[in-house]
């Protein structure tokens, strides 16, 4: 039989492999695509999922990673971003939160620090400015109060 088709012993015709499966030339059965790949009906090979997507064993399509998660090419699952990072839907990497922002639970975006607080790059929270210092909203550091 031709690749992407299979035939059982003693039959006079070939069948297409279903979605999520593939066959090599001369096969008597179809094999499921490995996790991280997919196939359409009649496939001779499985196609690797692109970064930002994943698939399970025997899949007919790749699934887009949700916000706060990422994946590399050929992934069987998405990886959650660490706090201090974020990722949009379908991301291939997590992006570090810039100074004056943070992320903790909602890893789809970085949140701004309030006035009177600050943060360094990749923070999971904002720190309160110590006595004798201050900050405006979106500050990466605190400013010393002047004498007087």
- The burial class, CB within 10 Å (0-12 / 13-18 / 19+), for 128 is middle
pLDDT at 148: 64
Which neighbouring-strand residues pair with 48?
37
pLDDT at 12: 78
Q: How far apart are CA 29 and CA 33, in angstroms?
A: 13
Q: How far apart are CA 123 and CA 102, in angstroms?
A: 5
Instruction: Please check the confidence at residue 1 and state whether its pLDDT lies above 60.
Output: no
> Dihedral (C-alpha) 103, 106, 108, 110: value to the nearest 10 degrees?
-30
Mean pLDDT of 55-67: 97
pLDDT tens for each residue of 21-44: 999 887 888 999 999 999 999 999
């Amino acid at each position: 039989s031709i690749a992407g088709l299979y035939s059982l012993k003693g039959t006079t015709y070939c069948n297409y492999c279903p979605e999520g499966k593939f066959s090599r030339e001369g096969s008597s059965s179809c094999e499921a695509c490995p996790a991280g790949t997919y196939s359409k009906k009649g496939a001779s090979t499985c196609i690797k999922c692109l970064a930002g997507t994943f698939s399970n064993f025997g899949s007919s399509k790749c699934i887009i990673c949700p916000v706060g998660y990422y994946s590399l090419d050929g992934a069987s699952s998405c990886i959650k971003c660490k706090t201090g990072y974020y990722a949009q839907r379908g991301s291939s990497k997590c992006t570090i939160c810039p100074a004056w922002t943070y992320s903790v639970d909602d890893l789809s975006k970085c949140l701004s620090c309030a006035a009177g607080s600050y943060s360094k790059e990749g923070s999971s929270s904002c720190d309160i400015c110590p006595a004798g210092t201050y900050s405006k909203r979106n500050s990466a550091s605190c400013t010393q109060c002047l004498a007087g």
